[in-house]
Amino acid sequence: MESVLKKYFGFSKFRPYQKEIVENILDGKDSLVVMATGSGKSLCYQVPPLVAKKTTVVISPLISLMQDQVMALKQRGIRAEYLSSAQTNRSVHGNAESGQYDILYMTPEKACVLTTRVEYKQLGRLRDVLPNVPFVGLTATATEKVRVDIINSLKMKTPYVTIGSFDRQNLFYGVKYSDRSSAFVDELVKEISKYTNSRSSTIVYCTTVKDAEQIFKFLLEDGIEAGIYHGQMSNKAREESHRAFIRDEFYVMVATIAFGMGIDKPNIRHVIHYGCPKSHLSIMVLSPRCGRDGIPSTCWLYYARSDFGKADFYCSEARTAEQRKAIMESFMAAQRYCMLTTCRRKYLLEYFGEKYCSVNCGTCDNCTSSKNENDMSREAFLLMACIKACGGHWGLNLPVDVLRGSRSKKILDAQFDKLPFHGLGKEMPANWWKALADQLISRDYLVETFKDVYKTVSVGPKGVDFLNSCTPDHQPPLYLPSTSEMVG
Ligand code: ADP
Ligand code: ZN
């Protein structure tokens, strides 16, 4: 194994987990490998065929990943080829049958020729025809549900499960907030132009094609050489853009999440999410596209509160209530990440079930900035007491409007104008109160619940404890950092 690693890949040591995984595959065991992007999953399936002198079939939906890997493997003298649905190649079939490949890549469609609509679930059929071939599932998505789904749908027999750490210590995580103004885009463009001086690559992920086109345009206008990549471009245009980026013909790629699955470019130093993404998985999976070589790299996210209003839009894609719930949960988790005032690394890792013990990671904005903490006890008291008095089954808008003294029909009908809190918070803008609510949510004083696509906010047990220790004239101290929304 070590000599194969050295001879073909030029590496002298296996990374954590790789050796055990390869050994298990060579022993004929099924394996499930859950490891972060960039941790070295590819070697786990590339080494076994070279040691065992048998063909490995790799099934991936990502044509660009297959092309990249086949190209790289061939350069190393490994006999690799790929079959995609876009290509019919009789000679590849013939060569494969006579065992002339070490590694043969194909799309799920090619592997399940019998079916028209292909899903990974149907790959389980392969198990019926190949009962004695070890199956290996590799993913960077670490939720329990995904793990169980893979094991079940590939009909794995007591698989050897490896769950690596998702902590990439060389990555810095940070978030910037603004409204969607031209000043916001200017700041982004300025930030990116700083990066291009150092000849390191940046990917800017946008949530819509429209945003991508806009940012792309602004960058060009600012004289920054950039490329663009999204799902509405032709295959050919996308391929060209991808290639040019890999070859450093430009240093900034503006893209939607259609770009970059399996991209292995060592000098990507920055990944920027422009807009709160649809799912926390985007933050988790796309951010580590940078810093694959272990050199410090940054993962920034720029968001505006208006991004949070897209829940309805995202949910409209759902066909069942269950799907809608899943979409909502992922979107919520992404929103929480945006609003977090505690360690971002800890949040991401713990979301995927990894315990992160350190109090201060030292490489996220919340751990490194010395934010001024202010005593917000009076404001927190007003907001929480008002939410409670309104019944705790509304979104944030209504209680905030009550605090700000609104006399809307809804408020008058419910007689909330008679509450003692009505109008007590009018000197602060609505967004200020919402930002305070975010802080209280991220510290578990307030609790968000979903009813269909609507969020309701109520006072959680910790908030109730706080309220119980308050009187209208006196509240115990409650220190919170002010976010940029609260500073203005
Ligand atoms: P993943 O598929 O998990 O996202 P890759 O397989 O693309 O990650 O590996 C990421 C990078 O790490 C690649 O550049 C690869 O060459 C490198 N790498 C993998 N294994 C080793 C190793 N044992 N020693 C040194 N570098 C390695
Ligand atoms: Zn941190």
Could you tell me the distance, in angstroms and rounded to a whole number, from the CA of residue 134 to the centre of ligand 1?
Answer: 22
Q: Which residues contact 386 (CB under 8 A, 6 or more apart)?
A: 399, 402, 403, 419, 421, 425
- Phi–psi pair at 347, nearest 5 degrees: -60, -50
User: Residue 213 — very low, low, confident or very high, per pLDDT cuts 50/70/90?
Assistant: very high
Which residues, listed in sequence order, are joined to residue 411 by a DSSP beta bridge? none
User: Residue 449 — very low, low, confident or very high, per pLDDT cuts 50/70/90?
Assistant: confident
Could you tell me the distance, in angstroms and rounded to a whole number, from the CA of residue 366 to the centre of ligand 2?
Answer: 6
Q: What is the mean pLDDT of residues 140-148?
A: 77
Write down the ipTM of this complex.
0.97
Ion ligand 2: protein residues whose beta carbon lies under 5 Å: 343, 345, 361, 364, 367
Give residue 221's identity as a one-letter amino acid code: E
- Looking at ligand 1, which residue's alpha carbon is closest to its atom 5? 40
Q: Which atom of ligand 1 is nearest to the CA of 13?
A: 23
Answer yes or no: pTM beyond 0.95.
no
Other Cβ atoms closer than 10 A to 138: 18
Could you tell me the distance, in angstroms and rounded to a whole number, from the CA of residue 486 to the centre of ligand 2?
Answer: 21
Could you tell me the distance, in angstroms and rounded to a whole number, from the CA of residue 201 to the centre of ligand 2?
Answer: 24
Closest ligand, as measured to the CA of 362: 2
pLDDT of amino acid 114: 47
Ligand 1 and 23: CB distance under 6 A: no
Mean pLDDT is lowest, of 131-135, 355-359, 405-409, for 355-359
**Residue found by looking up tokens 């698989």 in the block:** 159
For residue range 220-231, list pLDDT tens digits in order. 998 999 999 998
For residue range 466-482, list pLDDT tens digits in order. 999 998 888 888 888 77
Q: Which atom of ligand 1 is nearest to the CA of 15?
A: 23
Q: What is the mean pLDDT of residues 431-448?
A: 88
- Element spanning 272, H or E: strand 268-274
Could you tell me the distance, in angstroms and rounded to a whole number, from the CA of residue 442 to the centre of ligand 2?
Answer: 15
